[in-house]
Amino acid sequence: MNPIEKKSKFDRFARGYSGGNEDPLKRLFGENLEEFIYVKAKWLWNYLTQCQEKITIDEKCQLLDYGCGTGEMLKWLKLLGFPGRLYGADVSPAMLDEAKKRWDTFPKPIFTSIGETKTNFADDSFHCIVATCVFHHIEPEKRDDVLHEINRILVPGGKLIIFEHNPFNPMTRSVVKRAVIDKNTVLLYPKEVFNRYNKASFAKCKLEYLMFLPPRMKVFLGIERYLRWCPLGAQYAAVGEKRCRFPDLISL
C-alpha cells in the first residue's frame, strides 16, 4: 500500500456518492451529480481550448483532478475530447475505489492517494490541475500548504483551476449548510483565493462566476457566458498560472 494512504473522513460517503443530490432542494436544480459537474467541465474545456494563454492540448498534456472524488470531472473531460493523460488524486482511498468502479471506458485515469498537504508526484508533472469544490473541505490553516504543493507539481506556465461554492449566493450557502459532507466546512470568498494564489506565487489570476441557472435548464446555459462578471453565480472558477522560473530569459 502507498504509505500516503490512510483512512479518511470522506470514506464513509464514497459508496453511492451523489454529491449531495439526496437533498430535495439541490434536486430542484439538477437531477444528479453529473449535471452539476458537466457545467464546470464544459467551462474548463472551453477555457483550456480558447483562452489567450492556452496550453497545448495534445496527447502529451497531463491533467490532474486534485480531490477527484468519484471521478465525474475526469469522465466529462474525456467525453468532451481531452486527448492527453488524465490523473485523479484524493485523500480518500474509498472514493478512489468508487471512481475506479464507475469508470467504464478505457484507458482509465491513473488514480492515486494523496495526503492532506502532500503528494508523491514529481516536480513539474502536470500541465493543468483542477480542484472542484475541494478547498472548502481543507482546513484554512492548511490551504497555503496545499497550494504550494500544487505549484510544485505544475510545470512552469501550467494552470490551476479551482471551482468553489460562492458564499455571495444565498442559495449556495443554504445547500452547503444542509449537506452532511460539508459539515463544519469554511467557504472561500474569491478574495481569499486570490490572496492565497499570490502567496503561493501564482500569476495571471482570473475569476469568473458560473451556474446562474439550474444545470437542468441546459437549453439556456449558453447565456451564462454573458453573466460571468456578476458575483451572484452559485459557483466560481479561479485560475492561476505557475510562474516561469526564468521570465527574463523567456522574454528575450
Grid cell 481543507 — which residue? 138
Q: What is the pLDDT of residue 116?
A: 94
Burial of 153: CB neighbours in 10 Å, binned 0-12, 13-18, 19+: buried
Domain membership flag for residue 1: no
Name which of 168, 185, 251, 206 is nearest 50 in CA terms. Answer: 206
Contact 189, 231 (CB under 8 A): no
Domain membership flag for residue 24: yes
Q: Is 220 helix (H, G, I), strand (E, B) or coil?
A: helix
Give the model's confidence band at 103: pLDDT under 50 very low, under 70 low, under 90 confident, else very high: confident
Range of the structural domain that residue 89 is part of: 11-250
207: which strand partners? 238
Rounded percentage of the chain residues whose pLDDT exceeds 70: 82
Domain membership flag for residue 131: yes
Q: What is the pLDDT of residue 21?
A: 45
Domain membership flag for residue 2: no
Burial 101-128 (b: 16+ CB within 10 A, else e): eebeeeeebebbbbeebebebeeebbbb
pTM value is: 0.86
Domain membership flag for residue 23: yes
Q: Is the pLDDT of residue 251 over 90?
A: no
Instruction: Give the total number of structural domains in the chain.
Output: 1
